[in-house]
Amino acid sequence: MSLFAKHQPVLNKAIEALHSRVFFAAFPEHPAPAMYGETADADGQAKFKNHLGKKFEELKQTNPQSWGGQEESPYTQEALNISYPLFSVDSLITNSKTAFHLWRKVSAQNRAGLLMESLDRAKKRFFEIAYATMHTTGQGYMMAFQASGPHAADRALEAIAAGYEEMNRFPEKAMWNKPMGKFNIQLNKEWHAVPKGISLVIGCSTFPTWNSVTGIYGSLMTGNPVIVKPHPGAILPIAIFVAEIQTVLAENHLDPNTCQLAVDTFDKMITQELAEHRDVKLIDYTGNSAFGSYLEALPGKIVFTEKTGVNSVILDSVDDADKAAANLAFSVNLYSGQMCTAPQNFYIPANGIDSPAGKISFDDFAQKFVTQINGLVDNPKAGPFVLGAIQNKKTSERVIESEKLAGKVILKSRTFENPQFKNARVATPIVVEVDASKKEIFSKELFGPIALLIKTKNTAQSIELAQEMAMQHGAISCAAYTTDSSVKERIADEMALAATPVSFNLVGGIYMNQNAAFSDFHVTGGNPAGNASFTNPEYVTKRFTWVGHREPVKG
C-alpha cells in the first residue's frame, strides 16, 4: 500500500472539513493513556531529558560547520546545553537547490502521503515535544502538549489538505476542440503546478511548532524545498518535526535536504542573510512587526507574516457578569498573556454595563475581573499550570515597567511559587485603569500578562476605538459581550471592516485566545497584524504557479 493510500481517508476528511468548517481533529488533543498509551508521558519525558547536554544527531543533514545551541528553560533558568549542527547560508541554499529539482517532480499524491506519514511519526513523539516546548517556551504542560503536538499537527494537515486540493483544482490534461465551420482546431493541452522555489520558515520563541508547521507543510505540499530557521531560544520542538520529515524522505529515497533545519545562535544570527538571498522565494514569519514589515518590503519575495497586534474586548452588556469576568480572567492568565490572540484592551463604558441584575459599574466589573484573576493565580492546583513561565526576560521587565503607565494600577503583578520548579520565571497579570483619551498608552502591543481597562464614554466609543486600533495597529482577535442584537450586529460589522474576527459572549471552556484548525482562520491578512491567514486558499496558491503547454492534435 502506498503512503497516499494509507492516509487518503484522513486526507479526504480534512478536505471535507475545510469546506464545512465543522469540528474535525485528526490528532487527539487530550494526553490520555487511552489515546497514546500507558507509558507515553513517562517515555516522552525520559526522551526529552536524554537530549539535555548532548548533540541532537537525528537530522540527516551532513557536514556541519560546527555545533551550537543556546536554549534555556524558563522553568529552571538553566541552559539545556543541547547542541545542533550549524551550517553556512551558502550550504543551506545549495542543498535546497539540489533537492528542489527532485522534490518538484514528485506528484501531489505522493507528497501528501509522505508528509502525512511524517505527521504520524511525530504523533508518537508528542509527549517528548511537549516537554521540549515547556522548557523552551515556558508553556504549561497541557498547553505545551496540545499546541505543539496535536493542534500543530492538525494545522499542518490543514495546510496539506488545502495545498492538495488547490493543486488538483484543474485537470492535468485536456483535448481542446474549437469548431471553425468546415474544420476544427484541436489542441492537446496540459497544465503544471510549478512551485516557486526555496521557502524560508522563520520560527518564534513562544509557539515554535504551531506557528511554523503550517508554512513548512504548505510549502512542501506545493513542491517547494524548505529551510526552517527556528528562534535560537526554542529549537528542540521543531527540530523533532524536521527530523521526522527527513527520516520519511530518506526512507523513500528522496533528498532529506528537501526540509533543512537552519539553527543559529543569538551572537551569530543568519535570518537576515537567508531572507535576502536571491534564491529564497517564499518567506513565512511570526514575530515582531518591525522585522515583519522589513521582510514584507523585500523585493522579489512572497512573504506570509503574522506580526504583533492590539486585541480588544468590548463590554456592553452581559447575561452573567461573574461568568464573563471568569472567562476573560482565564484568557489573561493563560500562558501569562504570551499569546498573539490574548486580550489587552478592555473597553468598558464609564457608566457601567447592563445585566439582568441591573447596572454593573465600571469599578464593580473591574473588581470582579481582579477577583477572578487572583482566584486562579492563588489556586495551587491550577494557577501555576495555566500561567506557566515567562519565556523572555524582556517580557518580565515590560510587566514591571507597566506599573509606571499613566493610569491607575488596579492589580499589581506578583510572583508565585511553582510547586514543580522553584526557580521558574513567573509573573501574574497586572491590571491598569486607563482613560480613553490616553491613546498613546493602549495603541501598541504590550506583550505579556498586561490588561488595560479603558474607561470609555459609551459602547459606541468602545467600538470606535477597538476598530481604530485594529485598522491602525492590527488585531488578531476580539471579544465582545452584549445582549443587544443591534449592538452585536454593529460590532460584527465594524470589526469585520477592520478584518478582525469577534468572539461573542464567551463563557465556560472556550476562550478568545483559541483558534481551531479547519474552522477558524488564524489571522485574516487584512490588517497590520499580518498579511496571511492560516489557512485560506491564497496561503497555498501563492506558493506555486499554473503553467500550461499546448500542441496541435496529430491527425
| 450 backbone dihedrals φ, ψ, rounded to 5° | -125, 120
Residue 120 sits in the same domain as residue 250: yes
Q: How far apart are CA 531 and CA 284, in angstroms?
A: 10
| Nearest C-alpha neighbor of 307 from the set 420, 433, 172, 444 | 444
429: in domain: yes
Q: How far apart are CA 416 and CA 438, in angstroms?
A: 31
Q: Which domain holds residue 114?
A: 3-17+34-72+79-307+532-549
Residue 300 sits in the same domain as residue 382: no
Q: What is the CATH number of the domain that holds 388?
A: 3.40.309.10
273: in domain: yes
Which helix (H) or strand (E) segment is 275 a member of? helix 271-276
All cell numbers assigned to 99 = 533537492
- Do you know the residue count of the chain? 555
22: in domain: no
Asked which of 504, 520, 541 is the last residue of a domain, the reply is 504
Contacts 24+ apart (CB under 8 A), 382-385: 383/333, 383/416, 384/140, 384/416, 384/417, 384/418, 384/419, 384/420, 384/424, 384/426, 385/140, 385/141, 385/142
Residue 195 sits in the same domain as residue 257: yes
28: in domain: no
Are the C-beta atoms of residues 210 and 148 closer than 8 Å to each other?
Answer: yes
Q: Look at phi and psi of residue 499 and say left if phi exceeds 0, alpha if psi is from -120 to 50, else beta.
A: left
Q: How far apart are CA 421 and CA 309, in angstroms?
A: 31
513: in domain: no
Residue 196 sits in the same domain as residue 333: no
The overall longest dimension of the chain from CA atoms, in Å, is: 89
Alpha carbon distance, N-terminus to C-terminus of the chain: 40
Residue 485 sits in the same domain as residue 383: yes
Residue 72, strand partner residues? 79
The pTM score is 0.96
| Nearest C-alpha neighbor of 501 from the set 251, 311, 238, 243 | 311
Q: What is the CATH number of the domain that holds 246?
A: 3.40.605.10
455: in domain: yes
Residue 388 sits in the same domain as residue 250: no
Residue 411 sits in the same domain as residue 481: yes
Residue 41 sits in the same domain as residue 103: yes
Crossing angle of helices 108-123 and 236-251, in 10° steps, is 130
Q: Tell me the three-class secondary structure of 88-127, residue by residue.
A: CHHHHHHHHHHHHHHHCCCCHHHHHHHHHHHHHHHHCCHH
Residue 303 sits in the same domain as residue 320: no
| Nearest C-alpha neighbor of 48 from the set 134, 162, 110 | 134
Residue 104 sits in the same domain as residue 241: yes
- Ranges of residues in the chain with a pLDDT under 50 are none
pLDDT per position as a tens digit, 140-163: 999 999 999 999 999 999 999 999
| Nearest C-alpha neighbor of 129 from the set 75, 59, 209, 55 | 209
Report the Cα 131 to chain-centroid distance in Å: 18
237: in domain: yes
| Helix and strand counts by DSSP (H, E) for the chain | 20, 17
State the total domains in the chain.
2
Residue 184 has a CB neighbour count (10 Å cut-off) of 11
Residue 397 sits in the same domain as residue 277: no
Residue 127 sits in the same domain as residue 245: yes
Residues 6+ apart with CB under 8 A from 96: 198, 225, 226, 227, 257, 258, 260, 279
Q: Say which residue the cell 527527513 belongs to.
A: 246
510: in domain: no
Are the C-beta atoms of residues 542 and 302 closer than 8 Å to each other?
Answer: yes
